[in-house]
Chain A
Amino acid sequence: MEEAVAPEPTEVVRAGAADPGAALSGASGSGPVPAPPAGPEVRVRFEQLIAEELNGLYRSALRLTRNPTAAEDLVQEVMLKAWRSFHTFQEGTSIRAWLHRILMNAFFDSYRKHMREPEVIDQPEVGEFYLYDKVREGDSLGEAGNPEVEVLDRIMDADVRDSLESLPVQYRAAVLLSDVQGFTYKEIAEMLGIPVGTVMSRLFRGRHLLQRQLWESARKRHLLKGDGR
């Protein structure tokens, strides 16, 4: 039930982020930033939250930036922004959703400035449930038992991360927020500033693409019969 009210504080963040003069702007900006009206107990509380949320946030930043140094910089920016606007966070709502909202804003702001790749790339159509269909159709393992499950068991964690990171960033963000972080469509829509319908289409397309990448990576690792092993 707690999740249902989670978007509240992120609305405040969005309002702040839309105003370039607001306290949320540029963690890397020059000069001292006015300290928030926070007593030591607030800082202790915030530090406790950091301790709990830092790893999860860092992992999301890694998937987005695909680079450990960039991920550290991004997390630092996000945590400082979160600290400065911590007074807008509502106790009892999801801190994880709130931090991810700030993370997504910060990442896509910087991403748009640098434009390392086009934001949305036209992708060839891929079938639904691509991986499952592929595994079934070829009887790829040629073994008795449960071929679908066996293929999954053989795929390496690093291959999954690489496959996810190979997706165009819009699809990657949607899959990350749903499949890895477990946010609802509504929470993701608010984090990315897009309608729920767009979340669903990016998510479903992203999953198709992820499955295709996993299939390619399984083939390359010769996990499957009939690919030149």
Chain B
Amino acid sequence: MNCEETLEILWQFLDKELDGESTSELQQHLEECRHCFSKAEFEQRLREMVRRSCSGEHAPLELRERLSKLIRLF
């Protein structure tokens, strides 16, 4: 697998949507190519950052209490 082919399916790899064969070919390329490895690492960290940024908010207590009441009514 060359760099172009690797980058083409990099996101599918990071999304864990590749089949076993493509996964091992891609992993092998990442082990050998610093450039692609660095890109893959960056994308992975970016994803973690997006997830973390969107994981801090809490539903208001009033909503929680209202839902509890509504479910008893319906």
Interface positions of A (Cβ within 8 A of B): 32-33, 35, 43, 46-47, 50-51, 54-55, 57-59, 62-63, 68, 72, 75-76, 79-80, 83-84, 128-129, 131-132, 148-149, 152, 155, 157-158, 160-161, 164, 175-176, 178-180, 182, 184-185, 200, 203-204, 207, 210-211
Contacts and interface: CB of A to CB of B under 8 A. Distances in A.
B59 A58 contact: yes
Contacts of A131: 42, 46
Given A76-B63, A157-B52, A211 B15 contact: no
B49 A152 contact: yes
Interface majority SS (helix, strand, loop, mixed), chain B: helix
A152 B45 contact: yes
A158 B51 CA distance: 12
Given A76-B67, A180-B54, 12 more contacts: A55-B59, A72-B60, A79-B70, A80-B67, A83-B74, A129-B39, A132-B42, A152-B45, A158-B53, A160-B50, A160-B54, A176-B54
Given A129-B43, A132-B43, A55 B58 contact: yes
A203 B43 CA distance: 14
Most buried by A among B45, B46, B58, B68: B46
20 contacts: A59-B54, A63-B54, A76-B67, A79-B70, A80-B67, A84-B74, A129-B39, A129-B42, A129-B43, A148-B42, A152-B46, A160-B54, A161-B54, A175-B50, A178-B15, A180-B51, A180-B54, A203-B11, A204-B11, A207-B11
B56 interface: yes
Contacts of A185: 15, 17
